[in-house]
Amino acid sequence: MALIFVTSNRHKFEEVSELAARHGIELEHRGTPYIEIQADNLEDVVRPSAQQACALLKQPCFVEDAGLFVQALRGFPGPYSNFVFRTLGNEGLLKLMAGETDRRAEFRSAVGYCEPGQRPEVFTGKVKGTIAPEARGMRGFGFDPIFLVENMDKTFGEMEISEKNKFSHRAQAIEAFFSWYEQREKA
């Protein structure tokens, strides 16, 4: 039986598919629309999202949400990253950072998994880095081209999916989820 990933973001599905293949997990994509609540905490976003997606599908499924948390902007855009990217884009965020010396940031991810009649399980991941002075790379999506990974001189936008999946926030959260899921399936 395939594991259902509910997302409207094909880039996320591609990243997660690569990870699923490593585990021998068959992944099924569903673009089922659900109402995503807004909250300051990613875990508080994915819990009801997973529950709602599960109720709509009447099947076990998982969702994922991520955000870019910039130190100098007190965590902004955080869980509102998708909206901020759609309205300001990379150039807009870089303008907000103009003249800023503290460019520390981290990407965070939360995965919510739910089965009918059950409470959602949540798994998280994060990766530290800095905001680059300019966008670099054409890969990835969203703020990937302006996020320089800690201890590397590369943005996520300059990495192939397989390289990004070695340590990204999403990969960490998905790996934690897959490990839990596989252990549970064995039991």
Rg, C-alpha atoms of the chain: 16
Q: Which of 65, 102, 144, 153 is catalytic?
A: 65
Establish whether 65 is a catalytic residue. Answer: yes
Q: How far apart are CA 9 and CA 24, in angstroms?
A: 22
* Separation between Cα atoms, residue 51 and residue 6, nearest integer Å: 11
Cα separation, 106 vs 149, whole angstroms: 9
Concatenated DSSP letters for 47-114?
A: HHHHHHHHHHHTS-EEEEEEEEEEGGGTT-EETTHHHHHHHHHHHHHHHHTTT-S--EEEEEEEEEEE
Q: Which of 155, 163, 157, 93 is nearest to 130 (CA)?
A: 155
- Residues forming the active site: 65
